[in-house]
Amino acid sequence: MSLFRSTSRGPSLYTLSFWLLCVSNFLFSASFSMMIPELPDYLTKLGGREYVGLIIALFTLTAGVSRPFSGKITDTVGRVPVMAFGSIVCFLCGFLYPYLLTVWGFLTLRLIHGFSTGTKPTATSAYVADVVPATRRGEAMGMLGLFTAMGMSLGPAIGSWLADDYSMNVMFWTSSAFALLSIGILLQMPETLVNRQPFRFGLLRLKREELFDKQALPPFLVLLLQSFSSGVILTVIGTVSASLGIANKGLFFTVYTIASLAVRLLFSKSSDRYGRLPVLFISTAVLAFSMVLLILTDPSDRNAPSWFWTAAIFYGMSWGMNSPTIQAWTADLSNEATRGRAMATMYIALEAGIGIGALASGWLLNHITGEAGIDSSFAVSGGLAMIAVFYLGWLWRQRQKPGRHPIDEADEMALIDGEP
């Protein structure tokens, strides 16, 4: 059964299998995100306040390291096994957190937990790109990302509610249960890779050219600069929320993801229609503006909550456009035989940016007292986003030629999909 069946009116994106994949993504993203707002306080109570920056950094380290491997396994063994492996890691880690009650035990588990996002998103993106017409990739990635964003939005709020009203252990076990449900759905999905190989450990030996896909270099650079802000947000936004008297530290994530969902619903076809580069240019500028708003969020200012929630909205709007567009852009530039590698390369940038942002903001929190440390993190995030804006503007000017397809990578897509 094809994920996207063709009809007399054209290819249909919205089949039962597609919705199952979306639900699986929702459960997976909610599973690992629901604990994020509570982990800094949890680690502090374990006696590891100085290691708060490692909560996200260790997670993204293994996610990034595992990307080349997951890309190769996705291109050889199959998409579905790699997706299932990522959910299994989430299931096991969520179950084990309550039993590892030392700082080093906790940090070790965070390191292992990172394998989840180092594998499943790579295979998921390749799976969708396999079966989506090139001219509708932005729309399909946007709809799939809609469910991912809902998980990222509701997860932190659910996690904080469970931790406050019940216990941290209940929150961890609920996270594990969500991942288990995701696994059950994935096992019902048809495989899209045609020439599959059985898994063998020899596949884990990578050649130099298998570590990085050069065709995905432009998306890699843009996403690396953009995602630094995500590491900062994940590390410090709970502290900012507390300084403003906001009890539920997951609400910022809820607000920005609702904004992201609205953008995905209203503008899911925008990059298919107007091109990847123009959409990314605008969305990255919006990301930089959201960092400016967070700098203006001074707890001593009575208008601080307004700045805070407005920043959350603009931050969500930026990622609502960024995520599906950069995934579609990477798919446009990739070869079908190495699509998993290209997606893995893109996600390496995501993990590296988040990890560096988390480490940098954690260092600034520990070495610059008061609001200055937090504001410095937001300022660096905004500056890096503006570098990405200038780079995208340069690429856009280079690729503006008469008669080009609205999607900026038409030449590459013609090679991939056989389109005129």
Which domains occur in the chain, in start order?
A: 14-193+210-403 (1.20.1250.20)
CA distance 39 to 41: 5
pLDDT tens digits, residue range 138-147?
Answer: 677 777 877 8
Q: How many CA atoms lie within 13 A of 269 on its CB side?
A: 5
Beta bridge partners of 11: 6
Token pair, residue 185, equals 């759905």
Q: Residue 161 to residues 22, 38, 182, 255: CA-CA distances in angstroms? A: 24, 10, 22, 16
CA distance 270 to 139: 8
Which alpha helices (H) appear in 97-136, and where do they start and end?
A: 103-131
CA distance 119 to 69: 8
State the first-to-last Cα distance of the chain, in angstroms, to the nearest integer: 27
Give the residue from 24, 127, 14 showing the smallest Cα distance to 70. Answer: 127
Residue 15 confidence (pLDDT): 67
Is the pLDDT at 10 greater than 70, yes or no? Answer: no
Region 320-348: mean pLDDT is: 80
Burial class from Cβ neighbours inside 10 Å (0-12, 13-18, 19+) for residue 100 reads: middle
Question: Which is more confident, 51 or 116?
Answer: 116
Q: Are 231 and 359 in contact (CB under 8 A)?
A: yes
CA distance 216 to 320: 21
Give the residue from 204, 205, 156, 136 showing the smallest Cα distance to 40. Answer: 156
- Give 31's DSSP letter: H
Region 209-225: mean pLDDT is: 83
To the nearest whole number, what is the mean pLDDT of the chain? 79
Residue 403 confidence (pLDDT): 52
CA distance 80 to 186: 7
Confidence of residue 408 (pLDDT cuts 50, 70, 90): very low
Question: Which is more confident, 188 or 407?
Answer: 188
CA 15, 17, 18, 23 dihedral sign is positive
Is the pLDDT at 9 greater than 80, yes or no? Answer: no
What pTM was estimated for this model as a whole? 0.69
Is the pLDDT at 406 greater than 50, yes or no? Answer: no
